[in-house]
Amino acid sequence: MSAAVEVVKGYVATSVDLFKHGHVLTALSPFRAFQACIFLVSYVLIQRLIVHTFFKPRPPRKDGPLPKPHGRIAVVGAGLTGVSSAAHCIAHNFEVVIFEAKDSVGGIWADVNSTSSLQLNSLIYRFHPAVLWKHTYPARDEIVSEITRIWKEYKLEKRTKFNTAVKSARRANGTSSPGAKWIINDGTDGEFDAIIVTVGTCGKPKMADFPGMPHTHWDDEKEENQEKDGRGHRSTAQMSYQPRSNPTNRPKGSDSREKAAEKQRKEEEARRLKQQNDAAKRRAYRDMDEIEFPVLNPEAPADPRGSGAPSFAEVATHPPAEDSAAINSEPEGTKDADEVSESGLWEDAEDDGTVKEQGSEPGDHDHQQQDKQQQDNEEEEKFRGEVLHSSELDDAELDGKTVVIIGSGASGVEAAETALAQGAEKAVVIARDDKWIIPRNTFIDTIISSQPFGQEMPLSFVWEWFIRTFHYRDLKDLSPKNLGIYEGTPVVNNAFLEHIRAGKIKYVRGDTERLVENGVRVKTRTRDQPKGAEDAKPETIEGDIVVLATGFERPTLDFLPEDVFPDGYSRPDLYLQNFATEDWSVLCTNSSYMNAIGTVGHIHIGIYTRILLLFLLDPSARPDTRDMKLWVDVVRFVKRGAKGGALGFFTYMELVIWFLTFHVFRPDRLRWIFFTMQGWGVPVKY
């Protein structure tokens, strides 16, 4: 009933919005009303049939431990996939313990903006048969609510350990792979027959480190982590891939006054060290000036050593002073005064406060110094506005402002829509790569994902032509030129292109160089120019707020033994794309995903879980290490030449084919097919 009410409310709200924008005929169209009625009946009926008639596994009747469980399974992560997997295990009489690093369920959905919603129709986002959606494209709160409801319905509350990060998973003594028993952390929870790793592909927000970025709370948290871990300073490359602290779980005592004091202390320390370094260099150059080299003249001996000049060996082995330095005979140009060459020699000299280069003409140094001063000023320039991650827009003050968004993927597109919804005057999206944007149409999306080969095929251009012609229309220039539709995860959206047509969103293709005082400096490119093109046009995109739509860190699996993922068979090159090839008792559902056309929150979660349960129940159905690696190798052979690797991209139809061949190529597994595919009972013997 609640779903029906929500459908009616949605129809009324849409009608009111159409009237406001002058689309009277569309609002009064009888086809809209007929479509809403058909959808209401079919949507509610289909969900009820799934939940109450065919596929929902029976939850336990009591809160206590299962009387005679078939085994014990550790689930790492209490997000959508973790809760669904644990619910399937409990329903089929397997005891579980869920380990969650945070203090609540929901995973990444609990950390995104409240306006974040599904890109796909909720009918193909049924992460568990018990789900009852109220909206076709539910937002964050409804999704987290359904996760929580299933978590409670299947009595998982007492089986969940919050604030417990899994730091190690090791084989129990006397067991070996495949089919090892597992100990989690210190072993207080006993042995487990299998591990389901559901850490997903989105961890903590990834913050890009562009020059000109102002100090943010992410910097404070990074410094706190460095001090806590004792790792010291990280490079920019490391910062792009190392996990960062979640701002919602910051340690106590790091209030604004402490941060300001700490920042001031570090600035003073840096200033003091610079002064000491400059003084040392001045002493070195002064000592060098005290060396008296003879003035050469035509009558002087050919060998300057004849006039008393020291030999090169003497200078090299007996420097004039302890901290002095020699000048390179062939300097490569002016560098910072504190930069040292690979040989350990200073590469420039200082005299009366100026830097001189051998071989330079009078006046050259003035231009070089001006260029260096301009570069230094540019490096010191900081963006005056606020820098946010795309997941931090709920409380942002965007009304009447211009928002510059770096990134054009799903999070960038959603951030642009969120900014406009919150009153932003304009949004500018900076795209380093063009992404395919396909319509929010269940029929079209399902057909596209039904391609069984999981890679570009000779007729793939037909879909690309269709999308460009009927979805992009007059904006074909924004579609990818050198990326096929089956070579990367597309963005599913209807409104983004319309906002561009209306002038509310500006799309800029280019490479972000740095943040400047009033915005972002970008080297803009045409559709025909490659990334990093030398003839790209520099342009400053002005804005009040910069949003980094740079995605999230990919969680690591370093708590597992290294030999579980041997060379050539690590994520995503796993058995059935989710089982470790060295041990079938390690299942990584939705944790090895890279790119796909399909949905990560659908029936495959239950199928993968039941395949694991099948392995635990029936030893004869288990694959050995050789067979699992062979499966990966066969897929590689069939999909050789696929961009991104054989298992780096797949379609949902391809996934279904994997499940079917899993049974067909091993006839002894056919008796389990209704259990693994639909969850209907188990063979009588078991």
pLDDT confidence of 335, banded at 50, 70, 90?
Answer: very low
Is residue 548's pLDDT more than 50?
yes
Task: Determine the straight-line distance between the first and last CA of the chain, rounded to whole angstroms.
Answer: 39
Question: Over the Cα atoms of the chain, what is R_g?
Answer: 31
What is the β-pairing status of strands 182-184 and 191-192? antiparallel
pLDDT for 2 equals: 61
pLDDT at 362: 47
Q: What is the mean pLDDT of the chain?
A: 82
Report the relative pairing of strands 160-161 and 354-356 from DSSP bridges.
unpaired
Instruction: Quickly state the pLDDT bin for 134 (edges 50, 70, 90).
Output: confident
* Mean predicted confidence (pLDDT) in 67-71: 94
Question: Which range scores top for mean pLDDT: 318-327, 383-392, 675-684?
Answer: 383-392
CA–CA separation, 321 vs 286, rounded Å? 10
Main-chain phi, psi angles of 177, to 5 degrees: -85, 150
pLDDT at residue 273 in the model: 64
Per-residue pLDDT reduced to its tens digit, 643-667: 888 999 999 999 999 999 999 999 9
Structure-block tokens of residue 165: 């990060």
307 falls in which pLDDT band (50, 70, 90)?
A: very low
Q: What share of the chain has pLDDT > 90, as a percent?
A: 61
Average pLDDT on 328-336 reads 36
Q: Are 106 and 142 in contact (CB under 8 A)?
A: no
Is residue 15 helix, strand or coil?
A: helix
435 CB-contact burial (10 Å; exposed 0-12 / middle 13-18 / buried 19+): buried
Cβ atoms within 10 A of the Cβ of 181, count? Answer: 19
State pLDDT tens for residues 666-685. 999 999 999 999 999 887 66
Identify the pLDDT of residue 435: 97
d(CA 414, CA 114): 11
pLDDT band, residue 375 (cuts 50/70/90): low
Q: Which of 388, 412, 422 is nearest to 115 (CA)?
A: 422
Distance of alpha carbon 607 from alpha carbon 473, whole angstroms = 40
AA identity, residue 83: V
Does the pLDDT of residue 333 top 70, yes or no?
Answer: no
Least confident piece of the model among 314-318, 368-372, 483-487, 618-622: 314-318
Contacts of 435 (CB under 8 A, 6+ apart): 408, 409, 480, 483, 488, 490, 491
Strand partners, 404: 428, 546
Q: According to the model, what pLDDT value does residue 154 have?
A: 97
The whole-angstrom separation of Cα 544 and Cα 400 is 10
DSSP-assigned states of every residue in 556-621: P-TTS-GGGS-TT-STTSSBTTTB-TT-TTEE-TTTS--EEES-SSSTHHHHHHHHHHHHHH-GGG
pLDDT at 638: 95
Close Cβ partners of 467 (under 8 Å, ≥ 6 residues apart): 436, 437, 438, 439, 479, 485
Q: Is the pLDDT of residue 400 over 80?
A: yes
Q: Which pLDDT belongs to residue 366?
A: 56
Q: How confident is the model at residue 457 (pLDDT cuts 50, 70, 90)?
A: very high
Which of the residue ranges 91-95, 166-170, 414-418, 679-683 would you say has the lowest mean pLDDT? 679-683
C-alpha–C-alpha distance, residues 131 and 19, integer Å:
34
Q: Which residue has the higher pLDDT, 134 or 424?
A: 424
Q: According to the model, what pLDDT value does residue 262 have?
A: 56
Q: Which residues contact 87 (CB under 8 A, 6 or more apart)?
A: 57, 59, 128, 130, 150, 151, 153, 154, 156
Q: If residue 510 lies in a helix (H) or strand (E), which one and from where to where?
A: strand 505-516
Average pLDDT in the 242-253 region? 37
* pLDDT confidence of residue 264: 56
Residue 157: pLDDT above 80? yes
Please, which residues have CB within 8 angstroms of residue 314's CB and are 6 or more apart in sequence? Answer: none
Least confident of 33-37, 120-124, 263-267, 378-382: 263-267
Residue 240 has pLDDT above 50, yes or no: no
Report yes or no: 493 and 476 within 8 Å, Cβ to Cβ: no
Q: Three-state SS string across 404-449, please? A: EEECCCHHHHHHHHHHHHCCCCEEEEEECCCCCEECCCHHHHHHHH
3-state secondary structure of 141: helix
Q: State the Cα–Cα distance between residues 635 and 98, nearest whole angstrom.
A: 32
Amino acid identity for residue 430 in this structure: I
Give the residue-averaged pLDDT of 123-143. Answer: 92
pLDDT in tens, 562-602: 999 999 999 999 999 999 999 999 999 999 999 998 888 99
Please answer whether residues 611 and 676 qualify as being in contact, where contact means their C-beta atoms are separated by less than 8 angstroms: yes
Q: Name every residue whose Cβ is closer than 8 Å to that of residue 422 and which is 6 or more positions away in sequence.
A: 393, 396, 398, 399
**What domains are defined for the chain?**
55-203+555-678 (3.50.50.60), 212-244 (no CATH), 265-357 (no CATH), 389-548 (3.50.50.60)
Give the up-direction half-sphere exposure of residue 128: CA atoms within 13 A in the CB hemisphere. 28
CA atoms of 137 and 43, how far apart (whole Å): 12
Q: Which residue has the higher pLDDT, 521 or 63?
A: 521
CA angle 250, 247, 392 (to 5 degrees): 165
Does residue 70 or residue 224 have the better pLDDT? 70
**CB count in 10 Å sphere of residue 198:** 28
Q: How far apart are CA 432 and CA 435, in angstroms?
A: 9
Q: What is the DSSP string of 362-410?
A: TTHHHHHHHHHHHHHHHHH---SSEEEETT--TT---TT-EEEEE--SH
H-assigned helices in 21-127: 24-27, 30-49, 80-91
Q: Which residue has the higher pLDDT, 16 or 255?
A: 16
* Tokens at 431, concatenated: 């795209």
Pairwise CA distance, residues 215 & 268, whole Å: 16
| ω into 178 cis (within 30 of 0) | yes
Burial of residue 468 (CB within 10 Å: 0-12, 13-18, 19+) is middle
- Output the six-digit token pair for 340: 């040292």
Q: pTM value?
A: 0.76
SS3 28: coil
Tokens matching residue 250: 């910051």
Peptide bond into 30 cis (omega under 30): no
Which residues 6+ apart lie within 8 Å of 437 measured at CB? 413, 467, 471, 472, 478, 479, 490, 491, 492, 493, 496, 497
Element (H, E) at 355: strand 354-356
What DSSP state is assigned to residue 248?
G
Model pLDDT, residue 280: 59
> What 3-state class would DSSP assign to 346?
strand
Instruction: Please state the φ and ψ torsions of residue 437, each to the nearest 5 degrees.
Output: -115, 115
Non-local (6+) Cβ contacts of 376 within 8 A are none
Cα–Cα dist 516/539, whole Å: 11
Q: Any idea what DSSP says for residue 679?
A: -
The backbone torsions φ and ψ at residue 276, rounded to the nearest 5 degrees and listed phi first, read -60, -40
Beta bridge partners of 505: 427
H-helix or E-strand containing 223? helix 217-229
Q: What are phi and psi of 545, to 5 degrees?
A: -135, 140
